[in-house]
Structure formats: structure tokens, C-alpha cells
């Protein structure tokens, strides 16, 4: 883990110079940074893949930047996996356009989470859904100690298809009610952690979002199976709405 990044780097675009590094811890692997959409809010969140943490970063009264850990997904003690402890591996995060909810995917554990960030310093978990992953019941991995779940989740099946892999890239509609997800991260890592993905191809799913109280549910009528693409199975990754979405650069 020491070979991966651990900092948020703050740059001055006018001088093209690095002005600050914020250390998020050894082996944290910060992957995705999302600012709040409110142009007056000098803060946002960053998801750290290996440490399973989400940090809030913000501009201080002195004018520099700082960060604090506000969410942590504990690793699970397991048998039958590569290591004795399995991280969640947060691979994508996004924020709803009204800055009320934060979402992220745990590619290894297999769940998507929804947090109420009305108070950005104290996110509250309000929705969670499992879409595969490496700890499904009946698989090769046995969870021997879990600080969150009472039992291993059931395998994820939709329209008769048992979906390989885990939830990865996310995209949210402008009204915040439709969350889309694909399950391929990077072909090299797909091959290592979910080799069946390369044989079957990835999928795109739709998650229905409760934007009032919070909550996530799989839409059973929506399935895009990229294993049936002409020319063989393909691995879908990024998603975009033609008219704009919650991560398009037109909203930065």
C-alpha cells in the first residue's frame, strides 16, 4: 500500500505551482474529489479507496486548506480471500446537486451508500444497497468478524442474472432520484478480483433514490447487460447524461 498516493494537492493555477499538500494517511489512496455545488461553499469530500475513509476538506479562516475524516468503512476479517482483512475499497463518490446527499461505492464489499450531509461535518447513513461484491453468501469468502453486518449479504440477482463484480462508477440525475451504476473498475483489477467480469461483461443498473427521507432500492426493470454487446463482452465504466448530471463539468 505504500506505493500509492496519500495526499490532496492544492495548486495555484495562475502560477501553476503546488502550494499545499494535505496528508490523508499512509496507503489511503484518495481517488475521487467532489466539491459541494454551492459556489459559496469552499469545501467538499474525497473518497480514499484503501483506507475506506471519506474526508471533508475545507478552506480555513487563515486561507489554507485542511481535512478531517468524517466517514470510515471498517475492514472485515475474512477467510478465503487474498488477505486476512478486506477493505471496502471506495472507488467513486458523488454529491447530489442540492448538496444534501453524498453517495459512494464499496467495490470489494459490494454496496452503495447514501449519506445525509446536511451537516457536512457529521454525515448520517440513510441508505444502503448490496449489488454483488466479494462477501456474498455462498461464495469463497467467509467473514469471521464484521463490525457492521450481522450476516453476509445474499448474492445479487436481477432478471435471472447473477451479477459479477461490485458497484463502481456512479452517476446521478439532476433531480437526484435516479442513481446509475456500472461494475467495472479497471481491467487489470477486474481480472484480479472479479475474473468472471471479463467473461460475462459488466452491467449498468438503476437505483431508485428516496430524496425525502433517504433510502436506496434497485429498479428490477432496468438492466443493461454489456456481455451481450456485438463482438463479445465489454467492460463499461463512465456514464453521462446528455442534458447534464451531478458530476458534469458544466456544474463545477
Is residue 35 located within the same domain as residue 144?
A: no
Is 248 within the bounds of a domain? no
Is residue 104 located within the same domain as residue 13?
A: no
Is residue 200 located within the same domain as residue 212?
A: yes
Is residue 168 located within the same domain as residue 201?
A: yes
* Cα–Cα distance for residue pair 136/130, rounded to 1 Å: 9
Is 150 within the bounds of a domain? yes
Looking at the structure of the chain, the number of domains it has is 2
Distances (CA, A) of 105 to 58, 199, 214: 23, 23, 16
Tell me the three cell numbers of residue 179. 442513481
Cell 466539491 -> residue:
35
Is residue 35 located within the same domain as residue 80?
A: no
Is residue 23 located within the same domain as residue 105?
A: no
Weakest mean pLDDT among 23-27, 165-169, 243-247: 243-247
Residues 136 and 155: beta-carbon distance below 8 Å: yes
* Cα–Cα distance for residue pair 7/155, rounded to 1 Å: 36
| Neighbouring C-beta atoms of residue 81, cutoff 10 Å | 19
User: Would the pLDDT of 218 be above 90?
Assistant: yes
Is 23 within the bounds of a domain? yes
Is residue 60 located within the same domain as residue 124?
A: no
Is residue 3 located within the same domain as residue 115?
A: no
Is 247 within the bounds of a domain? no
User: Would the pLDDT of 244 be above 60?
Assistant: yes
Is residue 147 located within the same domain as residue 64?
A: no
Q: What is the pLDDT of residue 251?
A: 47
pTM for this structure?
0.94
Q: What is the pLDDT of residue 252?
A: 42
Is residue 236 located within the same domain as residue 133?
A: yes
* Cα–Cα distance for residue pair 82/245, rounded to 1 Å: 37
* Cα–Cα distance for residue pair 2/115, rounded to 1 Å: 29
Residues 177 and 211: beta-carbon distance below 8 Å: yes
| Neighbouring C-beta atoms of residue 54, cutoff 10 Å | 25
Task: For residues 207-224, give the mean pLDDT.
Answer: 97
* Cα–Cα distance for residue pair 122/142, rounded to 1 Å: 32
User: Would the pLDDT of 250 be above 70?
Assistant: no
Q: What is the pLDDT of residue 232?
A: 83
- List the domain range (segments joined by +) for residue 26: 1-72
Is residue 3 located within the same domain as residue 48?
A: yes
Is 5 within the bounds of a domain? yes
Q: Which pLDDT tens digit goes with each residue over 48-86? A: 999 999 999 999 999 999 999 999 999 999 999 999 999
Weakest mean pLDDT among 152-156, 157-161, 240-244: 240-244
Weakest mean pLDDT among 49-53, 126-130, 221-225, 240-244: 240-244
Q: What is the pLDDT of residue 185?
A: 94
Is residue 8 located within the same domain as residue 94?
A: no
Amino acid at each position: 500500500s505504500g506505493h500509492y498516493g496519500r495526499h490532496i494537492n492544492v495548486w495555484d493555477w495562475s502560477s501553476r505551482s503546488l502550494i499545499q499538500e494535505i496528508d490523508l494517511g499512509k496507503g489511503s489512496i484518495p481517488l475521487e474529489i467532489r466539491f459541494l455545488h454551492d459556489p459559496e461553499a469552499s469545501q467538499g469530500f474525497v473518497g480514499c479507496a484503501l483506507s475506506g475513509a471519506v474526508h471533508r476538506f475545507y478552506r480555513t479562516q487563515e486561507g489554507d486548506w485542511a481535512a478531517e475524516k468524517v466517514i470510515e468503512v471498517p475492514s472485515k476479517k475474512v477467510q478465503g480471500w487474498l488477505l486476512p482483512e478486506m477493505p471496502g475499497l471506495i472507488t467513486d463518490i458523488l454529491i447530489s446537486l442540492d448538496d444534501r446527499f453524498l453517495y459512494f461505492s464499496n467495490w470489494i464489499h459490494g454496496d452503495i451508500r447514501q449519506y445525509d450531509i446536511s451537516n457536512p461535518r457529521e454525515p448520517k447513513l440513510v441508505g444502503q444497497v448490496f449489488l454483488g461484491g466479494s462477501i456474498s453468501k455462498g461464495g469463497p469468502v467467509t467473514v469471521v468478524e464484521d463490525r457492521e453486518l450481522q450476516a453476509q449479504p445474499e448474492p445479487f440477482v436481477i432478471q435471472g442474472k447473477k451479477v459479477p463484480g461490485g458497484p463502481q462508477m456512479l452517476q446521478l440525475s439532476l433531480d437526484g432520484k435516479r442513481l446509475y451504476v456500472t461494475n467495472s473498475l479497471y481491467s487489470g483489477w477486474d481480472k484480479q478480483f472479479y475474473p468472471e467480469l471479463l467473461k460475462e461483461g459488466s452491467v449498468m443498473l438503476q437505483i431508485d433514490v428516496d430524496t425525502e427521507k433517504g433510502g436506496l432500492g434497485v429498479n428490477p426493470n432496468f438492466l443493461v447487460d454489456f456481455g451481450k454487446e456485438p463482438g463479445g463482452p465489454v467492460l463499461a465504466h463512465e456514464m453521462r447524461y446528455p442534458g447534464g448530471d451531478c458530476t458534469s463539468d458544466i456544474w463545477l
